[in-house]
Structure 1
């Protein structure tokens, strides 16, 4: 995997927009939002201007002129350089073709869930599932409307987001079933931990077995 001079995906979005035509920063932000890319890429004006400065610093973009709209301050227009075009294509190819480990906040919380009581986790997961189901329903409705207006090419990230939300909802729903009917492996020890304040013996034994295995 290439070691990038810039890693903020907003920088990649800027390069893609400038590969179409030269723009000033406000136009870039408006174009991204009008195309719904702010649903997949975090955009705010402060970080956008920092990204543009860094892109210019590394000679991926350059000033190509200025524009003035009425009495508003003059705006700098940027264009992509050959180096920026090469970076954009290589970066896109890497992100699409190479799987990398990401660290979603929900996954991180699941890795550390032990201090919460199983009953509280059950309640919280039900809360999350309600929100997920509503999100999926709204996203599917929005996608159905757009499918008649835009080619599928411009909706791929929306389809992917819906698929990921559906997969998460299905997984949470299955986990809730196991928590509710008591079939989740390790649930008894989890409850015992909260009742006694002591880690159950099977957890201690498990840690020792893992350490032995790691020692080889």
Structure 2
């Protein structure tokens, strides 16, 4: 993956919004929230204005006018530059075509879960599976509702997120089956190791 001058995904979200037309930051943020981009891109709103400033600093956006409504703070309207458009398209092509290392927190937990006992892991997996099933049901309903109002093209990120959650739920369910049935290879050794003091947990 290329090292970018403004690497926060929020920058991509801002650029992709300004491609439509010039607008001030408050309007950009409102549109991103309305479209659920904070969920799609893991946006942290505390860094929003810093990212806007950095995009301007590197020539990806530029101010076109400043307006003031009564006693309210001055609002600067920005537009995307040619450099910003090129950056957005290059970044988008990279994200769609190239594999990037992703390290979800769940994977980190799996990598050291052996320090917990099998019974506790079973309980935790059941809790996770219940949450997954609830999220899947909610997301499926939301997609079914939105597909009646919007073209599928703009809902693909929701489809992908749902597919990933469904795959995760299927995998968690299969591991739970192995743990509860006792068919998981090494399960007896895992229990024995912990029983001999390998961890403070049983």
When normalised by structure 1's length, the TM-score is 0.88
Maintained 8 Å contact 1:18/1:80 = yes
Question: Which structure: larger Rg?
Answer: 1
Contact 1:56 1:62 in 2 (8 A): yes
Residues 60 and 80 in structure 2, CA contact (< 8 A), matched pair in contact too: yes
Larger RCO, structure (CA 8 Å, separation 6 or more): 2
For residue 77 of structure 1, what is the aligned residue in structure 2?
Answer: 77
Per-residue CA deviations over 1:121-152 (Å, capped at 9, x if unaligned) read 00000000000000000100011000100000
Cα deviations across residues 69-106 of structure 1 (Å, max 9, x unaligned)? 34321101111111111000000000000011111000
Q: How is 1:9-158 mapped onto 2 (pairs within 5 angstroms)?
A: 9-158=9-158
Q: Indicate conservation of the 8 Å contact 2:38/2:44, yes or no.
A: no
Does 2:181 match 1:176?
Answer: no
- Asked if structure 2 preserves the Cα contact closer than 8 Å seen for 1:63 and 1:79, the reply is yes
| Secondary structure of 1:11 counterpart | helix
Q: CA RMSD in A?
A: 1.3
Task: Tell me the TM-score normalised to structure 2 length.
Answer: 0.94
Q: Which residue of 2 aligns with 1:204?
A: none
Go from structure 1 to structure 2 and tell me whether the alpha carbon gap of 1:30 and 1:148 turns closer, same or farther (over 3 Å shift).
Answer: same
- 3-state SS, counterpart of residue 103 of structure 2: coil
| Count of residues in correspondence between the two structures | 199
CA distance in 1, matches of 2:161, 2:112: 25
Structure 2: how far apart are the matches of 1:44 and 1:116? Answer: 32
Is contact 1:22–1:80 with CA below 8 Å preserved after alignment? Answer: yes
